[in-house]
Structure 1
Amino acid sequence: MSGVTTGEGGGAKAVPTAAELDDMSPEELARLATELDDVVVQHNAPKFPVPGTRAEKRAERTVAFWFVLSALAALAFVVAFIAWPHEYVPPSDPGYTMYSLYTPVVGVTFGLAVLSLGVGVITYVRKFFPEEVSVQQRHDGPSDEVARRTVMAQLASAGKDTTIARRSLIKRSAGAAAGLFGIGLGIAAIGPLIRNPWKDGPDSPLWVTGWRPENGETVFLRADTGELSEIRRVRPEDMEPGSMQTVFPFRESERGDEEALLHAQKASDAPVMLIRLRPGTPVVKRAGQEDFNYGDYYAFSKICTHLGCPTSLYQAQDNRILCPCHQSQFLATEYARPVFGPATRALPQLPITVDEQGYFVARSDFPEAVGPAFWERRS
């Protein structure tokens, strides 16, 4: 037996039973959904009342063009992401042009795939969705069981009205675009995880930075003066107690070599914050790194272990290192361990000392990987 519901205007409406709902056709369910929702369709006319006209075919080809273009762009993105040369090549070496185009090619093909897919969807909606004007009364509260049973039929009816079922060209091109775009997203997401970052053993990029001594050459701590050709190596007397400055690696063999000097400053794992604590400040050192400092001077990687932002702020009052991106905080007096925010790993500490001429030098490279999303350390 049917139930009764009260409409917005106070009128009673018959609500079919579950058995009656099961006997209804999809069209009847969709019609019932509009009635129960107090929807009045004022106007509903298909864009192409007569199927198969030239205008309809032209509109269908236009939509398919955008989907095909999206599919081709997504395929080009996948190929470029996998096969385009992406390993660093110095500007003076052959192959630099191809390397420099990697990011633009990947960005353009990915952007074109997204843009074309969006334009195709919008074009289809504009050219094939019926012109409908409906008025619905507002209702408060959750939907009842009948509304939930009929909403899917209403959506199916709307899909039928858009005539997508009989447009195989659009369905195939849209499926190809969405499929290739999805494959491209998947490859972009898991691609960096497939490459083996440890394939070079001790020389793997995750283990090595510009601070590693090579061929016995001393690596100095150099201050950034704003001029590549102006070399200023740092001495202990250059810093006041409670101060901090950013330093970069420098080798005498790089003097006059603009490319090498630029790389030393632009490398993502190169920046180091050199901190001078106030005399007598209590310090807790990490096990195995008790001699990494030089007196009151401590050197930590400037790359946040959360997402790689520069930890460029230092509060001398409480000896906290701050990352401005996501508010991670590290305690400089306790081997730069995280004490607040999303970072979970301490900033790697660079072992430093002073040479016979009184300049700060790096005793070795960092004993662990620099940067985010890496939690293992060398044994």
Structure 2
Amino acid sequence: MTTAHAYAAQSATTPLAPFTFERRAPAARDVAIDILYCGVCHSDLHTARSEWGPAAYPCVPGHEIVGRVHAVGSEVSKFKVGDLVGVGCMVDSCQHCQPCKDGLEQYCDNGMTGTYDSQEQVSRVNTLGGYSDHIVVFEKFVLKISHDEKQLAAVAPLLCAGITTYSPLRQWKAGPGMKVGVVGLGGLGHMGVKIAAAMGAHVVLFTTSPGKSEDARRLGAKEVVVSRNESEMAVHRNSFDLIINTVAVSHNLDPFVQLLKLDGTLVLVGAPGTPHPSPGVFGLITKRRRIAGSMIGGIAETQEMLDFCAAHGIVSDIETIAMPKINEAYERMLKSDVKYRFVIDMATVQG
């Protein structure tokens, strides 16, 4: 056992504060990682405040982790001490259901083990996440980082925001000749724009904020549409192959459905606290359009995403913060006051 220094929420209404706990010693197939940086995701805030159902306390959030291996178990073959690695939203799954066999561990029939506020597969102990100075993870769920070491802080959000947008873009085969929309230019949306553009698609950014146009084009969007402007929206009717909706606030989906061409798909990756209004049926049946959902990616696909981003020079746009600033960062995140992801320098976890 080793003592971990972290920040934790002790209840849904208390701020995150310093916390120490014991990590398990690495088993034969475990990798022990010194955490260098951890991204801050909206999921962290929602979970810490029990907004997506009751959390188990103390809650140590954090699932956008990059660090350096400091120890490996006797049967570990993929990693060695000193390697730069990442850990995303999962640290285990049942390993035997069909989704797990297909490399889709995020859809494990028996429930994947989240990096925090989840139960370990065997011990059923609650997992504690990346807002800590080190972590111990089953080898299969550790990822290789090939970006330059100077980019590590900006790599961290790829472990959630990156894979959340990469996975549907790959599933629906985004590439040259395709018109792809991205709704929202936040932590998820700015990654969706970058990745879709790197795949060769014609990318259109939808935003309610006209002031985001210049930034969207810098990130790779060819066009920017203010979604509240009906005339701007009408220009694009029946023209999109795929739209990735990253917005985590309940809103009317029908205007985006109307933009899809025959057999086009609107994929929801943002998770609002209350349901979207039910979409109209005729907007779907008249063009055989689809509304779908997607959740992160399996381990193999997440490694593929990291390698793709390294090859194309893609990282997240970030603001690095010290660990004691996390509560302030949460409040700023609620106001969308960040471009586009906070990342914690974990060297500051002890103040």
TM-score range for the pair, normalised by the shorter chain length: under 0.3
- What's the TM-score, normalizing by structure 2? 0.18
- What's the TM-score, normalizing by structure 1? 0.17
Going by fraction, where is strand more abundant, 1 or 2? 2
| Larger RCO (CA under 8 A, 6+ residues apart) | 2
Structure with bigger gyration radius: 1
